[in-house]
Every structure is written in structure tokens, then in C-alpha cells.
Structure 1
Amino acid sequence: MCEGNGSAVTQFFILGFKNLENFKISLFFMFLLIYILILLGNLFIITLVSASHHLNVPMYLFLRNLSVADILFTTNIMPNMLYVIVTGGGDISITGCFIQYYVFCSSTFTQSLILTVMAFDRYVAICHPLRYAPIMSHKLCQHLIFWPWAICFVLFPIEVASLFQLTFCGSNIIEHFFCDYSPILVIASSDTSTVQTEDFIFSISLTLVPFVVITISYFCIVFSILKITSIAGRWKAFSTCSAHLTTIFIFYVTQITIYIFPVGEDTFYAKTVKSLLYTVLTPFINPIIYSMRNHEIKRALQQLIYRKSKTTTHPRFP
């Protein structure tokens, strides 16, 4: 309950990008274009992997799920962000804010676990190539796809339930472009220690631990690649990991510096730029780097176009 004459906050005001009113039209169309490209790029990956038998292998099945998580992640944030940009800020109910935070956390940590699964897949493929097929069996792949989604979407209602126990009596302004952890806790009037403890445990378990696992996997991969005698063989092995490494670098560096080990007191703009790196940039570049740097994706696309053109040129009649 709020003490004195203070009244309980019933809705939040998302501030968005303050002091950038003169650029709001440019920002709107830039982020709208990026959002459309994110949807098209990730839908392209999902469609191509689903339609091509050549891509029906673990690495691309994991990539398809990463694209699904990217779409869910950005669709949860960017449409409302576009509205906030145009209006110079926007109201959101407390329930709506916490739901956005729940979907944000669940999809973010699902991405983290899927990236870990993809690192494990590359480790087995490069370090144990002769045992790849029996290890990465269809049953194991189903589990590796199912559990990242299940774990994250089942765990985070615990933290959201704790958020609903908080009291908000003073300011209702969220100094961010979406409902994130730190801006919510800053304006809370009650004790936030329970939420902070839960969030720290989840962040360590689902961000730092996966990052350590990925790092160890890639140390083993590098050692295996260095044992390859031919330069062409080394380059081929490394090229299968380059896109994944790029995504990992952007995703985990921003996650860890913002949520686990923040460096100093970031300004509003520094936090905004860091958040944009993983909320916008990572989902945007994922389809690009996986498509442009992957010969199997290009080959599957060419075969799909060839089949479509052949069907159009020689239609089947009943």
C-alpha cells in the first residue's frame, strides 16, 4: 500500500527515445523497415528449412527455432516501440508491461539456450565427426529443441508473479523503450530484493552458464581445427562456425554487460544503444549472416527456385 497521500500507480508511461523528437519520423521509418526485414529474413529461414530436405539436419532445425524465437522476441517489442516513437511516449497497463517483460525474458533466454545447443552441435560435428549421427539422433534433437522453450516459458511466471507483488506509488515513467527489468525496479516503492534475487539466479543460470558452456565448446573446436593439416580443411571447418560466433558475440556481450556485470553507471543513451544491439541488431543480422555465409542455405534456395520454375514451366494436368 502507498503511504500518506501517495496513490498507487495503475499504468506506466514508456518514455522511449527522449530528446529525439526532431528525428522521430526518421527513427520510425528506419525501425519499421528493420522490423519488416527481420520478419522477412527469419520467415525466409523458417520456410526454407521447412521446405528443403537437404536442410533437415540438426544444425538447421536449431536455426529454424532460433528464427522463431527472433520473430517472437522482436514482435513483442518493436510494434509498441514504433508507437512510442511516433507519439513521443506511450501508456501501458501494469499487466501489459509485465506480460511484455515475461515474453521478453522467455524468448531471450530461449535464444540463449538455442545458441548453446547450436554450439554443442558444432562441437560434435567438428570434434567427433564419426560419432555425429549416433550422438545427434532424432530423439535427442527433439529434446534439444523442446526443452529450451519449455524451461524458459515455465520458469519466468515465477519472476512475473513477484513483480505483481511490488508496489508503485511515485513516478510511473519507464525510462526505456520497452518494459525491462531495471527501469521497472527503479520506480518500485516496495522492497525489490526478492525479484532481484530471482532475476540474478535466472540470469546466471540461463545466460552466464550457457556462455561458459559455449566458450568451452569453442575452445575444443579451435583445438580440433588446428589439428587439421590442410588450410582448406581448416577454413571449411571454421566457416561452419563463423556465423554462429558473430551472433554469440553480439548477443552475450550485451546481455552480460547489461544484466549480470554492468560496467559502471551507464547513461540513458548508453543503455539504450546496448539494448538496441540485442533487441534489433541481432535478430536483423542473424538471417543475413546465416544466409550469405552458408553454402547449404544458398544451395537449398537454388534447388527450391529450380523446382518452382520447373513446376511452372511444366505444369501437371489431371
Structure 2
Amino acid sequence: MSTAYVLVEYDGDQVLPITGELITAAKVFESVTAVVVGAAGAHEPLVSQLAALGADAIVAAVGADTAQRVVLPAADALSMLAAGAPGPILVGAGVTGNEIAGRLAARLASGVLCDVVQVNSDLTALMSIFGDAIEVSTAVGGSSPIYTMRHGATEVPAKPTPGAGVVSTFELPAASEKDVTVTKFVPAVKGDRPDLTNAKVVVAGGRGVDSEENFHTEVEALADALGGAVGATRDVVDLGWYDPIYQIGQTGVTVSPDVYIGLGVSGAIQHTSGMQTAKKIIVINNDDDAPFFHIADLGVVGDLHEIVPLIVEELAKRK
């Protein structure tokens, strides 16, 4: 089996967690090539990290306008590599990853599977469907099958087997007049809390929080006390209590924290499909028949408006 190509996701000089997951998942193949798309030199601070995660080769696909061309540079880089030496391609699932995967499938005449949770050496993949109620093994065709991997589905070993990390570079083609380019960026304002998809602790609120004010004074307060991120159910977002970017579930983001705490969340499958891979699940709800209690490691039946302030108070005493 030829090398597997992994698209590196990074922020400045730090590799993002999904990259480690992709490299770990791709280890079922003969070798792993990590592809860094960016300006000249962008790969340099990432080399040691990628090698430590198990990358056998690191390819820097260099272009002067990679940020302005959105998904095209990544699609160019991966299609050029796979056209010369076919092999499976792994990218992180999501709006951007799925867009890249679709373009690659068209260019390489290969099949694509989105939101897989495991890739196998025979090129099949495991998919968790119908709100994670059923797992299926799915085959895909083509010389360079493409997979988008669900965030948090693969556990990176505490001490991965290092790879050789052999570095090479090549120039990406220049933008053509047909390319879509971004002329202005407005960076998202980052708060003091961890990013939702990468957080070790997630505190999520549901309709049972009762109001937008309570969401800020209780859900956010507990998240701040634990140094965690804030999540929300679709009901909360539809009610306008919290921003849609924090929605967890089938129509939101998928999280896989060490600890997930659900406050006033009933546990509908639309929500639990986006968080049930959390290592520990804690639920506080006054309805003892709430479905969430069936998957919780710890369930507390009671009034969250009374319980949460007591927890925050106790955590403050312990700092």
C-alpha cells in the first residue's frame, strides 16, 4: 500500500489536535505523509511536532496567496501529490474539509466518504450513522480514496511512535483569473475560554436553563470555574439565547472532551450524536426520565438553578 496523505491543520506554529488524530488513523497504511499548505517557511515550526506524531514524510506546499484562495491551495496540493503517487487521503471533517474532499474526488476520479470514525488498511472505513445508533463498514473506490475524519473519533496515543519526518517542498500553481479569492478577513473574536472543539471540559446548556440570562450566569459561570468551553443545544440556538457557532450535535459541531457537563439538556439524539464520545458525561436535570441519564456516567436529578451556584462556590473555595 502506498503512502497516505494527511492534510495538516495548524494555527501559527502549533499543530491542531485533529492533525494528530488524522496521522494516528492513517498509521494503518504503509507510511504517512503530512501535507502543510501555506506561505514559505510556514511548515518549519511544525516539523518536529509532525514527526513526533508519527509523520514519515512532511511536504510543504508553498504559495504566496494560500490564505486568500480559501480551499483551492489544499485541493491543488493534495491532487498534485496523489496524481503522481496515488494513495488514500485523509482530511478533517467539517465545512472546509468536506469541500476539499469533494474537489479532490472530482479531480482524482476517486470515491469519498465523509465523517468516518475509522479507516482500515483495506480502504474500507467505519461510519457511525443515524445519530450514532448504527455503525457500518463502507467501501470506497478509486486509486486515491478520500476520507473526512470526525473530530475526536481517534484517540492519539500518549506517546506516539515517531516518524522519520523527512521534509520536502514544492510550489503551488499561481491563482488563475477563474479562482475565487478573499479580499478581506474579519477574524473571529476569541474569548478567554478554550476552543469548543478542542476543549478538555465542555459545559453545555439546554432549554432547561430557562433563559438567556441564566445561560450566562450559570452555564458560563460553571465553564469559567472549570476552565472549560461552553456549548449549546439547537433549542437554545433557535431561541436566540446563544450563538450558533456553539451548537453541539448533528447540525452543529462534534466534541469529544474529557468531561462533558449537560445542564438542563434532555438528551435528544440530535444533540448526543455530537458529544457522546466524551470520556465522562455528567448530567444535571430535574426530569428523572430525561434520555440523557441513560448515557451519563453521573446523573443528578434536581434544580440546576440551585445546584450550579453551589458547585461554582465550592470550586472557588478550592482554588
Q: Which has the higher strand share?
A: 2
Give TM class, smaller chain: under 0.3
Q: Which has the larger radius of gyration?
A: 1
Output the TM-score relative to the length of structure 2: 0.23
Q: Which has the higher helix share?
A: 1
Output the TM-score relative to the length of structure 1: 0.23
Q: Which has the higher contact order (CA 8 A, sep 6+)?
A: 1
